Structure 1
Amino acid sequence: MTRFDAAEPAERRKLYVDAITAHRERGSGFLTLEADEGTLETNGETATERESDSESDDGSTEPSVPWVQFGDGTINLDCTDDELDELKAVLEEFPAFKIDDLIRPEDAEGVNVRISAKADQNRISQFVDDMFLEVYDLPAAFRVWIVDI
């Protein structure tokens, strides 16, 4: 792969397809997509204003940037209870995708969601983009980064 970020909807979806293809060709455990922190600032809040599930060593809240992992036909993400409701609404538009597991750690707020995504990379890319837009309420021109393949 030669590019690792995109901001326009069509380019983001092409980037997701390319990342999934590279992930599968490399046989890596997973790939990670992350919204650009600057995107959150243009959406009326900064990353530090989003509550994080973890604290740094000094007890301060770490910035929480929306991320998604994909590997072995599974999409993995963290979200709040409100975001989980939005995720369920998005899933209604993608009947081939199902929630496999909800994990609610005792030491963190929110929920870790694992979704089976047994679909081609084009359909997965549509789902991921819709999920970023609807679940995390990102603007249409948000920038996404591939941070791990």
Structure 2
Amino acid sequence: MTRFDAAAAEERQKLFADGIVAHRERASPFVTFEADADASGADDEDGATDSAETGSDDADPETGDDAEQAPPWIQFGDGTLNLDCTDDELDDLKSLLGEFPAFKIDDLTRPEEAEGVNVRVSALADPNRVAQCVERVFREVYDRPESFRAWVTAV
């Protein structure tokens, strides 16, 4: 792989497919796709996010990370998509997967120490079809804006 980010829908989908191909060629455990932290659509007119201006009361005192503002991510490995979501996002994911008959939820895990659910989805399809699904999950489940930037953060 020679590029690791994209901001247009068609380019993101190609990026996701290329990441899956690179993952398979390298026999790596997984590939991780992440939405840019500034891609929440919650920017004000000056481009600053609310949490950047006001700080966050929800920040982890040890790391300073704001769990509410963590960008969404999706991993793919061994024919499985892995992602975290809220209960509302899970409902959206289930609805979306109705349009992808080759994809099905295999496992839901609700860790005691975290809110939300970890979802494992079997995705036994070619890289382009998986990439289509990943793009739609970011846009429709995680509500990313049309021009959000996505990154391949691990291959």
Cα RMSD of the aligned pairs, angstroms, is: 2.2
Match of 1:30 in 2: 30
* 66, 76, 80: which one aligns with 1:74: 80
Q: Which moved more, 1:27-36 or 1:57-66?
A: 57-66
Helix, strand or coil at the partner of 2:135 = helix
Helix, strand or coil at the partner of 1:39 = coil
- Quick one: distance in 1 between partners of 2:33 and 2:124? 18
Which protein is bigger by CA-based radius of gyration? 2
Going from structure 1 to structure 2, the CA distance change for 1:25 and 1:85 (only over 3 Å counts) comes to same
Match of 1:128 in 2: 134
Q: How does 1:17-96 map to 2 (within 5 A)?
A: 17-40=17-40, 43-44=41-42, 46=49, 48=51, 55-57=60-62, 61-62=66-67, 63-96=69-102
Q: State the 1:67 CA deviation.
A: 0.2
- Quick one: distance in 2 between partners of 1:110 and 1:47? 23
**1:4 matched to 2:4:** yes
Going from structure 1 to structure 2, the CA distance change for 1:123 and 1:96 (only over 3 Å counts) comes to same
| Structure 1, unaligned runs of 5 or more | none
- Quick one: distance in 2 between partners of 1:39 and 1:127? 19
Q: State the 1:54 CA deviation.
A: 8.8
Helix, strand or coil at the partner of 2:38 = helix
- Quick one: distance in 2 between partners of 1:59 and 1:144? 23
Counterpart residue type for residue 3 of structure 2: R
| Structure 2, unaligned runs of 5 or more | 44-48
Q: State the 1:61 CA deviation.
A: 3.4
Match of 1:119 in 2: 125
TM-score, length-scaled by structure 2: 0.86
Aligned-pair identity in percent equals: 59
Q: State the 1:60 CA deviation.
A: 6.5
1:55-105, Cα deviation, whole Å (9 max, x unpaired)? 352686343110000000000000000000000111011011000000000
Match of 2:151 in 1: 145
Counterpart residue type for residue 97 of structure 1: F
Helix, strand or coil at the partner of 1:68 = strand
- After TM superposition, where is structure 1 displaced by more than 6 Å over at least 4 residues in a row? none
Going from structure 1 to structure 2, the CA distance change for 1:18 and 1:47 (only over 3 Å counts) comes to farther
